[in-house]
């Protein structure tokens, strides 16, 4: 048995696990953002409440970047763990082995072990949420690239400026990472809203844009046409580089199954590999993916 955690900027969720998909929920508490002693106490209290054995491991999904060489976590919205070797510091205080991975990596692990990626050798978990992210699982193990940044197809100047659908030219938007033209600026829910505003001068939530497209609204359809073209090109490049068997899509846009089917057709039409089945598919785990991913991390790395 292990204790697994999904740690965000506002809430810590916890469960015990006897396997990647065999979880028993413990509960949740507010995240102590500025007090590391309070953070440790919150984790310890949840472990005690779950009743895991004294020598059992802890596995954590966290909203941030974990450098696999140094163990340093970069978690801007939880200052008390930002810049720490969280696995080492927390493990020392708890007297337990601790594993830590970022939430996109844990999403990919969850889908690989218990979701749409089951039975596939290489799984590329793509997130189209507020922004764009991803993680890679190969042969049942998380691929941890240099700096902990593997799978980050959302960044780098990759978005086209000339396209085959009106308005035929689009600007490169500034990204929070400091670059221009990142997929993150147009690929997620906020991105499709930005495209719609740029094209039509109207502010609509992504859900309304998708609903309008599905019912034949001309403006929404133009926005979706542009979004699919802009996103499918860099995603197809990622497919050619990584060679995934399946790409489960999570985040808010992952719930728009018709959009994901449209994106899948566009990606498969642009890649080198000829494949006659869906490649880009909706994620299957929309609840507790972070906890399932944390459990999968522990059991795949033999720390349980």
Residue-range domains of the chain with CATH: 2-105+287-300 (3.30.420.40), 119-282 (3.30.420.40)
Q: pLDDT, tens digit, for every residue of 59-75?
A: 999 998 999 999 999 99
The predicted pLDDT at position 6 comes to: 97
With contact defined as beta carbons under 8 Å apart, do 75 and 63 qualify?
yes
Contact between residue 212 and residue 225 where contact means Cβ atoms under 8 Å apart = no
* Bridge-based pairing state of the strands 247-250 and 122-128: parallel
Opening angle at CA 46, ends 42 and 49, nearest 5:
140
Average pLDDT over residues 26-51: 97
CA-based torsion, 219, 222, 224, 227: positive or negative: negative
| Percent of the chain whose pLDDT exceeds 90 | 90
Whole-number pLDDT of residue 89: 97
Question: How is residue 80 annotated by DSSP?
Answer: T
Alpha helices by DSSP H, 81-217: 86-94, 103-114, 189-200, 206-214
Model pLDDT, residue 303: 54
Distance between CA 275 and CA 259 in Å, rounded? Answer: 19
User: Is the torsion defined by CA of 176, 182, 187, 191 positive or negative?
Assistant: positive
Q: For the chain, what is the mean pLDDT? A: 95
Global confidence as pTM? 0.94
Q: Which of 146, 170, 273 is nearest to 223 (CA)?
A: 170
Residue 148 has a pLDDT of 83
Residues 231-266 pLDDT 10s:
999 999 999 999 999 999 999 999 999 999 999 999
* Mean of pLDDT values over 257-283: 97
Categorize the per-residue pLDDT at 302 as very low, low, confident or very high, splitting at 50, 70 and 90. low
Mean pLDDT value across residues 87-113: 96
Is residue 80 within 8 A of residue 94, CB to CB? The reply is no
pLDDT > 70: percent of the chain: 99
For residue 167, name the pLDDT band (cuts at 50, 70, 90): confident
Q: Are strands 11-19 and 73-74 parallel, antiparallel or unpaired?
A: unpaired
Which tens digits make up the pLDDT trace of 184-196? Answer: 999 999 999 999 9
Q: How far apart are CA 234 and CA 252, in angstroms?
A: 19
In the structure, what pLDDT confidence band is assigned to residue 172 with cuts at 50, 70 and 90?
Answer: very high
Cβ atoms within 10 Å of 215's Cβ, excluding its own: 9
Q: Write down the pLDDT at residue 304.
A: 53
Percent helix, strand and coil across the chain, each to the nearest 5: 40, 20, 40
**Would strands 280-282 and 247-250 be described as parallel, antiparallel, or unpaired?**
parallel
């Amino acid at each position: 048995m292990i204790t697994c955690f999904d740690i965000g900027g506002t809430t810590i969720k916890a469960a015990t696990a006897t396997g990647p998909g065999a979880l028993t929920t413990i509960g949740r508490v507010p995240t102590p953002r500025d007090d590391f002693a309070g953070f440790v106490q919150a984790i310890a209290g949840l472990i005690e409440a779950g009743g895991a054995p004294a020598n059992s491991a802890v596995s954590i999904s966290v909203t941030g970047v974990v450098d696999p060489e140094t163990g340093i976590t970069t978690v801007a919205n939880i200052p008390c763990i930002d810049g720490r070797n969280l696995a080492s510091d927390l493990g020392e205080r708890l007297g337990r082995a601790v594993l830590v991975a970022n939430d996109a990596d844990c999403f990919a692990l969850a889908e690989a072990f218990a979701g749409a990626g089951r039975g596939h050798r290489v799984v590329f978990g793509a997130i189209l949420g507020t922004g764009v992210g991803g993680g890679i699982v190969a042969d049942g193990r998380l691929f941890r690239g240099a700096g902990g940044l593997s799978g980050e197809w959302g960044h780098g100047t990759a978005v086209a400026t000339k396209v085959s659908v009106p308005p035929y030219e689009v600007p490169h938007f500034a990204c929070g990472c400091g670059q221009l033209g990142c997929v993150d600026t147009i690929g997620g829910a906020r991105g499709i809203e930005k495209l719609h505003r740029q094209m039509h001068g109207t502010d609509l939530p992504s859900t309304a844009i998708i609903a309008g497209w599905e019912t034949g609204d001309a403006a929404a359809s133009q926005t979706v046409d542009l979004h699919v073209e802009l996103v499918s090109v860099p995603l197809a490049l990622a497919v050619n580089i990584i060679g995934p068997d399946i790409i489960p899509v999570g985040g808010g846009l992952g719930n728009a199954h018709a959009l994901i089917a449209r994106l899948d057709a566009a990606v498969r039409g642009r890649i080198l590999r000829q494949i006659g089945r869906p490649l880009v598919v909706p994620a299957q785990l929309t609840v507790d993916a972070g906890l399932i991913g944390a459990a999968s991390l522990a059991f795949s790395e033999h720390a349980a």
